[in-house]
Amino acid sequence: MKFKDQIIAITGASSGIGMQAAIDFSNNGAKTIILISRNITKLNKVKEKINPDCNVEIYPCDVSNKKMVADMSNNILEKIGNVNILVNNAGFGIYGRVIDQTIEDIEKVTSTNYLGMIYCTKMFLPSMIKKNQGHIVNVASLAASFGIPCMAAYCGSKFAMLGFSESLYLELKNTNVGITVVSPIAVKTNFFDNESFKGKMPHKLGYVLDPKTVSNAILKAAYSKRLEIVVPFFVRSAVWLKQTFPYLINPIVSSAFKEVK
């Protein structure tokens, strides 16, 4: 019952990793789970899967919309109270070369994955600081450390998420409020259902995680002292190799994706 009496807000809770995390937090004693995403029908279906001992609140919101996030957060803070754990998980990718993608596609990925995380953080962090209690878990990706061809906007948003989180981590050093980034490799979710991936990316993915594995890491990340948890753990060595010998590793990444069009 690690999360007894805790109020937990999860963005992107209507499917995949966010949905699994909501279920798992509820099975570990959470008092209230706040499910956030754009699709209210899907959120209602997730609610049915959550431990009945846990109170579930549904807040439809597009996290890329600053005003919607402000309204949603103010509503939550007023009606439910201080959020103990915020999981910034909402995100998506669009596959394609920079030259072929529209500015609007790139903006949408950036404003959802990166700015959406900042909008939510800016709304919930002040009450955490005031109470000197709380934790933010940001779901990034291994794409926060590797540039992948045809995923520039996505990689950029996740690199940015990791950089922002690292700075905030240092700012919070002497407080009881924490932040931890969870960076998984590929996960079996609806992520690759986006039209742009059709017939392209998924066949490249050798080792694919179950959402439950990532959810376990998210629960571990909540109240962890670590900045980043890479999932699975042994992939951290690949990050180290890339950062230490980029001139050796980047050509390998490039050749692994050489057939992309």
What residues are labeled active site?
154
Helices 152-171 and 116-131, packing angle to 10 deg: 10
Given 11, 32, 73, 145, the residue binding ligand NAP (CB under 6 A): 11
DSSP calls for 160-179 = HHHHHHHHHHHHTTTSSEEE
* DSSP letter (8 states) at residue 30: B
Contact with ligand NAP (CB under 6 A) among 56, 136, 186, 201 = 186
d(CA 130, CA 134): 10
Amino acid identity at 186: A
The site string for ligand NAP over 214-233 (x = CB under 6 A, - otherwise) reads: --------------------
Q: What angle do CA 24, 32, 127 make, to 5 degrees?
A: 115
Of the candidates 124, 159, 169, 191, which one interacts with ligand NAP according to CB under 6 A?
Answer: 191
Report residue 10 CA to chain centroid gap.
9
Q: Which stretch binds ligand NAP (CB under 6 A): 49-57, 120-128, 182-190, 221-229?
A: 182-190
Q: Does 190 bind ligand NAP (CB under 6 A)?
A: yes
Q: Is 212 in the site for ligand NAP (CB under 6 A)?
A: no
For residue 17, the minimal CB distance to ligand NAP (Å) is: 4
Is there binding between residue 156 and ligand NAP (CB under 6 A)? no
Binding residues for ligand NAP, how many (CB under 6 A)? 29
Q: Say whether residue 201 binds ligand NAP (CB under 6 A).
A: no
| Among 23, 84, 91, 162, interactor with ligand NAP by CB under 6 A | 91
| Residue 144 is a binding residue for ligand NAP (CB under 6 A) | no
Whole-angstrom distance, CA of residue 143 vs CA of residue 154: 8
**Residue pair 200/152 in contact by the 8 Å Cβ criterion:** no
57's enclosing H/E stretch is: strand 55-60
Helices then strands, counting H and E runs in the chain, come out as 9, 7
List 38, 47, 200, 236, residue binding ligand NAP (CB under 6 A): 38
CB 31 within 8 A of CB 4: yes
Q: Considering beta carbons, is residue 172 or 201 the nearer one to ligand NAP?
A: 201
- The Cα 143–Cα 183 span in angstroms is 8
127 interacts with ligand NAP by CB under 6 A: no
Contact between 16 and ligand NAP per CB under 6 A: yes
Per DSSP, the three-state class of 97 is coil
Select 90 or 219, whichever has its Cβ closest to ligand NAP: 90
Binding to ligand NAP by residue 39, rule CB under 6 A? Answer: yes
Q: Which two tokens stand for residue 135?
A: 């934790």
Q: Which residues bind ligand NAP (CB under 6 A)?
A: 11-18, 37-39, 42, 62-64, 89-92, 112-113, 139, 141, 184, 186-187, 189-191
